[in-house]
Amino acid sequence: MTTALDTLQRPVNHLIRLGVALAAIGALVNLVPFIALTELARLLLAGTVDRQALWLCAGWVVIALCLGWMACGAALWLTHLADHRLQASLREAMVGKLARVPLGWYSESNSGAVRKGVQDDLEDLHHLIAHHAVERTAAIVTPLAGLVWLASLNWRLALLAVLTLPLYGLAYTLMMRGFASKMQLLDQSMTRISAAIVEFVHGIAVVKAFGRVGQAHRSYQQAVNQFGRQYAGWVRPLLRLEAISSMALSVPVILLVSLGVGSLWLSRGWITPLELFAETLVAVVIPQSLLVINQSLTAQRTAQAAAGRIEALLSIEELPAAPRYSQPVEHAVTFEQVEFGYDAAQPILKGIDLHCKAGTITALVGSSGAGKSTLAKLVPRFHDVNAGRVLVGGVDVRQIDPDQLYRHVGFVLQDAQLVHGSVADNLRLGCPTACDEQLQAAARAAQIHQRILALPRGYQSVIGDDAIFSGGEAQRLSIARTLLADTPVLILDEATSHADPQSEALIQDALSALARGRTVLVIAHRLASIRDVDQIVVLDQGRIVECGRHHQLLQADGAYARLWHASAVEVSQ
């Protein structure tokens, strides 16, 4: 049966096989010193010193060692080359896949799985392909060839060399019962730990601000405790078996058995002293070989699980691509009978009809869970609608090339994401060719320019090292980056949620000026900040219940008026 690992490594199998063949040759050549040492012992025990024969034995040992090292070195070079090509192709495939999946697929829980896939799982494949393939081959070929050589001398020698193996085999079999299912559970637990770490780190600033560290890290602690219980429950019963199997493979025990039983056979004339010497040389190699084989089998199982996760990552459903793409002709945003739900059987948005004229600001308001963010995220195609259409510039977003769509639609979400790099590098993510003057202009518009100048190295300060931003400052930097992209359509998902009132007012002024010639769709929880926008849309339970300007909606005395009065009460309190 073809496994995920077989599928992933198929393109480099020819290099792996060639490396394994060279490793086998090197392992066979490494047996030559054993034979030469036995022959040397025979010459020395003969009582006559034949210098030529001694030098010949020494020469064979040197030549064999050199050839063995060369063969093993070439084998490792080939498997590392195979690993390099496989890693490059998988990283390229994963980056391409992650670029084509819906943006809405990304979440805190997925972050841990992605990190494990692109880092830990690829590392597991590296150890298996680059190292264990060669080491396992050598560990199998060397003792097998040694046993064949012993059997050619005396069949009893081969039997004596493996006399303790049945005990080890029984203990190992008992230890490996249910290994695959237990490893799967441990892998799932490690994935939960990774996701919990990502979640905790992303929210640490807010958590500390509210003094909730103990509760916030509870999910991480629970994930760690679960892993600890599963691991301990698996390991404890294995300790005795591990002790027995380790003792059966220890060199002192093997020597004791070989010399004890060998002495009995010597007394009966079944073997010769030289044959016992040859058997001892081979017998002491077997424990290390079995240890390598055991590690390789463990690596094989770990890599199988890693390959399964990588294959699952590469099998994520992508956004459907249109047979032909169209270009938006203007900057209006239109929703036509839009229905959407993460589960199609439970729609979040129902029958949404909305037109946002080019160059206007439309605000989406409503209670929590009304569908504001979900509706806005359909414009940059975080998800595809279940029914209806979302149009940008008169073209269905599903008919716009994704690269073109993201050059046409910019968005700033509630949680600003900054990468480790200079402030200038973060801003240039919006426009890689932007000059310093353009960076500063965007920063001024987002009211973050003076804060950047106050940093030790200004725009060259590195975020996380000598540039530490508060939540509101990071949000303004994210806004500056989006403004620098100069997209004709802007989606602002509560972009001012982390800003203080003064900064929010300044940002709103900048956005109002910037809206000329652009279409802005903004989600706001502070109604006072959107009273002057061109259009306010009130959502309730996934439906549009009101639409109009601020004064019109107040006069209607409906859902918006209730929200407005409620917000006024909160402010007065």
Is residue 369 within 8 Å of residue 382, measured between CB atoms?
A: no
Q: 361 - beta bridge partners?
A: 520
More confident residue, 250 or 210: 250
pLDDT interval class at 538 (50, 70, 90)? very high
Which residue, 138, 125, 6, 140, is CA-closest to 76?
138
Choose the weakest-confidence range: 232-246, 302-316, 363-377, 442-456.
Answer: 232-246
SS3 368: coil
| pLDDT tops 60 at residue 571 | no
The pLDDT assigned to 22 comes to 92
- CA–CA dist 558, 271 (Å, integer): 104
Percent of the chain with pLDDT over 90: 12
For the stretch 425-434, contacts whose Cβ atoms lie closer than 8 Å and that sit 24 or more positions apart, written own/partner, are: 426/463, 426/477, 426/481, 427/459, 427/477, 427/480, 427/481, 427/484, 428/484, 429/481, 430/480, 430/481, 430/482, 430/483, 430/484, 430/485, 430/486, 431/484, 431/485, 431/486, 434/484
Q: Which helix (H) or strand (E) holds 478?
A: helix 471-485
The pLDDT assigned to 445 comes to 81
| pLDDT tops 50 at residue 573 | no
Is residue 496 within 8 Å of residue 524, measured between CB atoms?
A: yes
pLDDT interval class at 202 (50, 70, 90)? low
Tens digits of per-residue pLDDT, 253-307? Answer: 778 888 888 888 888 888 888 888 888 888 888 877 877 887 788 788 888 888 8
Give one word for 492, left, alpha or beta, with left for phi > 0 and alpha for psi -120 to 50: beta
The pLDDT assigned to 214 comes to 54
Question: What residues contact residue 176 under an 8 Å CB cut-off, 6+ apart?
Answer: none
* Mean pLDDT for all residues in the chain: 80
Tens digits of per-residue pLDDT, 461-475? Answer: 988 888 888 777 887
pLDDT interval class at 336 (50, 70, 90)? very high
> What is residue 467's DSSP assignment?
B
Which residue is it, tokens 């989406």? 364
The pLDDT assigned to 296 comes to 82
The domains found in the chain, sorted by start residue, are 4-314 (1.20.1560.10), 333-572 (3.40.50.300)
Question: What residues contact residue 100 under an 8 Å CB cut-off, 6+ apart?
Answer: 318, 319, 402
Which residue, 417, 490, 482, is CA-closest to 443?
482
| Span between the terminal Cα atoms of the chain, in Å | 68
Is residue 409 within 8 Å of residue 489, measured between CB atoms?
A: yes
Tokens, residue 422? 């200079």
Sheet strands side by side (includes 409-412): 409-412, 489-493, 519-523, 361-366, 535-540, 543-548
What DSSP string describes 223-276? HHHHHHHHHHHHHTTHHHHHHHHHHHH-HHHHHHHHHHHHHHHHHTTSS-HHHH
Q: Give phi and psi for 365, each to the nearest 5.
A: -130, 165
Q: 543 - beta bridge partners?
A: 540
Which residue, 136, 141, 135, 146, is CA-closest to 282?
146
The pLDDT assigned to 199 comes to 62
Percent of the chain with pLDDT over 70: 77
Which residue, 475, 493, 486, 379, is CA-closest to 432?
486
Q: 414 - beta bridge partners?
A: none
Tokens, residue 486? 């100069």
| pLDDT tops 70 at residue 515 | no
Its pTM surpasses 0.85: no
pLDDT interval class at 511 (50, 70, 90)? low
- CA–CA dist 115, 106 (Å, integer): 12
SS3 75: helix
Tens digits of per-residue pLDDT, 547-568? Answer: 999 989 999 888 899 888 887 6
Sheet strands side by side (includes 349-356): 349-356, 333-340, 387-392, 395-396
The pLDDT assigned to 56 comes to 79
- CA–CA dist 497, 525 (Å, integer): 8
Tens digits of per-residue pLDDT, 432-442? Answer: 888 989 889 88
Tokens, residue 440? 């500063």
| pLDDT tops 90 at residue 339 | yes
The pLDDT assigned to 186 comes to 65
- CA–CA dist 364, 379 (Å, integer): 13
Is residue 552 within 8 Å of residue 535, measured between CB atoms?
A: no
pLDDT interval class at 62 (50, 70, 90)? confident
Mean per-residue pLDDT for 495-516? 62
| pLDDT tops 90 at residue 516 | no
Sign of the Cα torsion 429, 430, 435, 439 reads negative
Tokens, residue 406? 């993201």
How many alpha carbons lie under 13 Å from residue 294 in its C-beta half-sphere? 18
For the stretch 356-359, contacts whose Cβ atoms lie closer than 8 Å and that sit 24 or more positions apart, written own/partner, are: 356/332, 356/519, 356/521, 356/535, 357/332, 357/519, 357/534, 358/330, 358/331, 358/332, 358/488, 358/517, 358/518, 358/519, 359/331, 359/515, 359/516, 359/517, 359/518, 359/519
The pLDDT assigned to 337 comes to 94
- CA–CA dist 103, 378 (Å, integer): 10
